[in-house]
Structure 1
Amino acid sequence: MDSFFKLKEHNTDVKTEIMAGITTFMTMAYILVVNPLMLSSEGVGMDFGAVFTATALSAVIATLVMAIYAKLPFALAPGMGLNAFFAFTVVAGMGYSWEFALTAVFLEGIIFIILTFLNVREAIINCIPVSIKNAISVGIGLFIAFIGLVNAGVIQTGDGTILALGNITEGKALLAIIGLVITGLLVAKNIKGALLIGIVVTTLIGIPMGITKVPAQVASLPPSLSPIMFKFQWDQIFSMKMLIILFTFLFVDMFDTVGTLIGVSAKAGLLNEKGEVPNAKQALFADSIGTTVGACLGTSTVTTYVESAAGVAEGGRTGLTALSAAGMFGIALFFSPLFTMVPEAATAPALVLVGLFMMSPIKNIDFDDYTESIPAFLTIIMMPLAYSIAEGIVFGMISYVLLKLLTGKFKEVSPLSVFLAILFVAKFFIE
């Protein structure tokens, strides 16, 4: 293990990496239930059990590639947001069949594999300015903390779209607050595996509160993939509507993945002296393979998960963390009732504290240079407010290019950065 993953070189050990992988899995295990619920909802009609199996298997395959080929501590699974676009926009909204949507996801995966081999995606990562790379980490921290608080009901929608404090004196919001106190205490005392312990303890406390539902059985065989596997529809692949859908999948997945790789790598101290992600090409290849294989199995776009930051916060630094997470997804195939009993209120405290841990790169941003700090701030604030890592990067890059060019600092802007900014502006008009 040490020789293959270079554990000593990264100041880590087998126990730390395995605990980190389990923690990452626990914070993202919700996707095993949420993804099948979305894709089997009314108006979409995919088979719930089959999507569960496809979700777990695609996560196993993509995360194994990340672990063994890229050797980075990131886990992958069908992405939130991307599955919502798949289910509620393409299928339920536009009226296309889920087979048509799966075809778009498959084509997206193939295109990403080609772009990865041509180093296009790696070049995009490298052209993002260091100040925005640091801002991405901070923005992701706020974003995942926000996700945790919303999922637990601590923050909820008030009148219209206004956010308000939820009822924190009862239910899952109260459980999340209790969990936050417990997990915070464990973190403050430097207890190894604090986040994972916090999730488990909070889940157990949720039993007498009636929030954690104890399953009738612990183990079960995974449902068959036959209702959804290789169900593609090719008759409209050259239509303009397919092009627009494909572009949206490509855009959101590309910049969500880029943002996650940069942000979590920055927090883990993995970026090199040039601010580049190590093994970026291999990591992006894992994402591409996951999306392609996932479409064949019958699920929406597979992407690198921002919850990987939870494992990094526990000390995960190598592919062994990802290998451990992949193993947990494999086990979950046969013990789904056990893993899916963990309520959102139990994972919320971990996500909130990871949000805190992700804030540290803000110290590296030059706030005295407004051509650096304004784009960085927009990157940070737009991620939670727009509920999108990709949109945060869009606002950061556009403002960075404009401010640099308008203040005469032409030499600080690369041609690829200018091209991306133009593409981002065009995206708003296409939508």
Structure 2
Amino acid sequence: MSTLARYFQFDELKTNHRTEFIAGLTTFVSMAYILFVNPSVLGAAGMDKGAVFTATGVAAAVATIFMGLVARYPIAIAPGLGVNAFFAYSVVIGMKVPWQTAMAGVLVAALIFLVLTFFKVREAIINLIPQDLKVAIASGIGLFIAFIGLADAGLIVANDATMVSLGHLSSGTSLLSIFGIIVTLILISRRVPAAIFIGMILTAIVGILTGLIDLPSSIVSTVPSLAPTFGESIKHIGDINSFQLATVVLTFLIVTFFDTAGTMIGLATQAGFMKDGEMPRAGKALMADAVGMTVGAV
């Protein structure tokens, strides 16, 4: 354990195994939703939900392990919302592009992404972004994620007249979400360690006791096969042969570039990694990010 502490610089960073364990568990619980949301979104495009579930977990595991062991940043990486919705609803459903061809576009964008990262072009661009714009990008992504959370909780709903309006705050799901938000905010304001994690646990317990959250039928189940989707992106790279699909690839690249950059900047700033607007060891962190995207595309 002392070797582990030395490698991850526990003394320099003033942390310990207990703190890191709680932080890791909190991070996992916070982001595990993507294991269920990603298959739901991509399933609308015709992809096998079981295969997407497994691919999401594998991509997240590989990228996060790479981030921890190589970059030594306490940042977890997983497929995120935004690009997957563009993929499913705009490209596949809206533009009538087969999901296999669309996945090939994602793979091409990921490979370009990886090359830009490997030659430190991405790092140079991020470091050239003014600090105020970096804060704005990170804030925008945070607001987007908060918006999705409020929508999933039923606190806000679509409205033809105003685009967005308050949901039915008397529903059980909405009340449970409000309870979780209030409890978490109180714990954070009181500077309680692991406030977010405790808030999630208390919310889950209340949800189970009130019947709003179903208990799992089993602890462990078989892992769905990757076969229905694995390698389809590679097989259909030749389908990227039109201006329309080239535009799709470019859109995937640009959206992912700023999405991941903003998230990385926001997390690094909150964690105190940013120095004069730049992250130390940023190249390794960004490489882990790019590796995760490439693995997920395959």
TM-score, normalised with respect to structure 1: 0.65
CA distance in structure 2 between the partners assigned to 1:9 and 1:135 by the alignment: 30
**What's the counterpart of residue 74 of structure 2?**
73
CA distance in structure 2 between the partners assigned to 1:139 and 1:72 by the alignment: 23
List per-residue Cα deviations over 1:223-271 (Å, max 9, x = no partner).
Answer: 1111111113133223212210110000000001111111221121111
Which one of 292, 295, 311 corresponds to residue 294 of structure 2? 292
CA distance in structure 1 between the partners assigned to 2:207 and 2:245 by the alignment: 45
**What's the counterpart of residue 7 of structure 1?**
10
List per-residue Cα deviations over 1:109-136 (Å, max 9, x = no partner).
Answer: 2111211122110011110112223344
Which one of 246, 250, 253 corresponds to residue 247 of structure 1? 250
Q: Does residue 1:281 correspond to 2:254, yes or no?
A: no
Residues 136 and 247 of structure 1: is their aligned pair in 2 closer, same or farther, counting only changes over 3 Å? closer
Opposite residue 277 of structure 2, the aligned amino acid is G
CA distance in structure 1 between the partners assigned to 2:182 and 2:250 by the alignment: 43
Partner SS, residue 157 of structure 1: strand
Identical columns (%): 46
Shift of the alpha carbon at 1:73?
1.9
Taking the TM superposition and a 5 Å limit, the aligned residue runs for 1:190-339 are 190-231=191-232, 232-272=235-275, 274-296=276-298
CA distance in structure 2 between the partners assigned to 1:80 and 1:29 by the alignment: 13
**What's the counterpart of residue 175 of structure 1?**
176
Shift of the alpha carbon at 1:210?
2.9
Opposite residue 77 of structure 2, the aligned amino acid is L
**What's the counterpart of residue 325 of structure 1?**
none
Bigger Cα displacement from structure 2, 244-253 vs 185-194:
185-194
Residues 240 and 50 of structure 1: is their aligned pair in 2 closer, same or farther, counting only changes over 3 Å? same
**What's the counterpart of residue 27 of structure 1?**
30
Partner SS, residue 78 of structure 1: coil
Partner SS, residue 15 of structure 2: coil
How many correspondences in the alignment? 293
Opposite residue 23 of structure 1, the aligned amino acid is T
Conserved? CA contact 2:105–2:237, under 8 Å: no
Residues 275 and 234 of structure 1: is their aligned pair in 2 closer, same or farther, counting only changes over 3 Å? closer
CA distance in structure 2 between the partners assigned to 1:145 and 1:95 by the alignment: 30
RMSD: 1.8
Residues 141 and 249 of structure 1: is their aligned pair in 2 closer, same or farther, counting only changes over 3 Å? closer
List per-residue Cα deviations over 1:338-386 (Å, max 9, x = no partner).
Answer: xxxxxxxxxxxxxxxxxxxxxxxxxxxxxxxxxxxxxxxxxxxxxxxxx
**What's the counterpart of residue 131 of structure 1?**
132
Residues 215 and 145 of structure 1: is their aligned pair in 2 closer, same or farther, counting only changes over 3 Å? same
Residues 49 and 14 of structure 1: is their aligned pair in 2 closer, same or farther, counting only changes over 3 Å? same
CA distance in structure 2 between the partners assigned to 1:78 and 1:137 by the alignment: 17
Opposite residue 225 of structure 1, the aligned amino acid is L
List per-residue Cα deviations over 1:69-110 (Å, max 9, x = no partner).
Answer: 111122111221111111112212211211111111111121
Shift of the alpha carbon at 1:138?
4.1
Conserved? CA contact 1:49–1:224, under 8 Å: yes
Partner SS, residue 156 of structure 1: strand
Bigger Cα displacement from structure 2, 100-109 vs 7-16:
7-16
Shift of the alpha carbon at 1:161?
4.3
Residues 137 and 253 of structure 1: is their aligned pair in 2 closer, same or farther, counting only changes over 3 Å? closer
List per-residue Cα deviations over 1:376-431 (Å, max 9, x = no partner).
Answer: xxxxxxxxxxxxxxxxxxxxxxxxxxxxxxxxxxxxxxxxxxxxxxxxxxxxxxxx
Conserved? CA contact 1:53–1:224, under 8 Å: yes
Unpaired segments ≥5 residues, structure 1: 297-431
CA distance in structure 2 between the partners assigned to 1:141 and 1:261 by the alignment: 11
Residues 162 and 38 of structure 1: is their aligned pair in 2 closer, same or farther, counting only changes over 3 Å? closer
Residues 161 and 30 of structure 1: is their aligned pair in 2 closer, same or farther, counting only changes over 3 Å? farther
Opposite residue 69 of structure 1, the aligned amino acid is V
Conserved? CA contact 1:133–1:266, under 8 Å: no
Shift of the alpha carbon at 1:140?
4.2
List per-residue Cα deviations over 1:251-309 (Å, max 9, x = no partner).
Answer: 0000011111112211211111x31022221122112111211122xxxxxxxxxxxxx
Q: Does residue 1:53 correspond to 2:54, yes or no?
A: yes
Conserved? CA contact 2:188–2:196, under 8 Å: yes
Unpaired segments ≥5 residues, structure 2: none
Which one of 20, 41, 46 corresponds to residue 17 of structure 1? 20
Residues 217 and 100 of structure 1: is their aligned pair in 2 closer, same or farther, counting only changes over 3 Å? same
Conserved? CA contact 1:109–1:288, under 8 Å: yes
Residues 153 and 219 of structure 1: is their aligned pair in 2 closer, same or farther, counting only changes over 3 Å? same
Partner SS, residue 60 of structure 2: helix
CA distance in structure 1 between the partners assigned to 2:77 and 2:62 by the alignment: 9
CA distance in structure 2 between the partners assigned to 1:167 and 1:240 by the alignment: 45
Partner SS, residue 206 of structure 1: helix
Conserved? CA contact 2:104–2:236, under 8 Å: yes
TM-score, normalised with respect to structure 2: 0.92
**What's the counterpart of residue 145 of structure 1?**
146
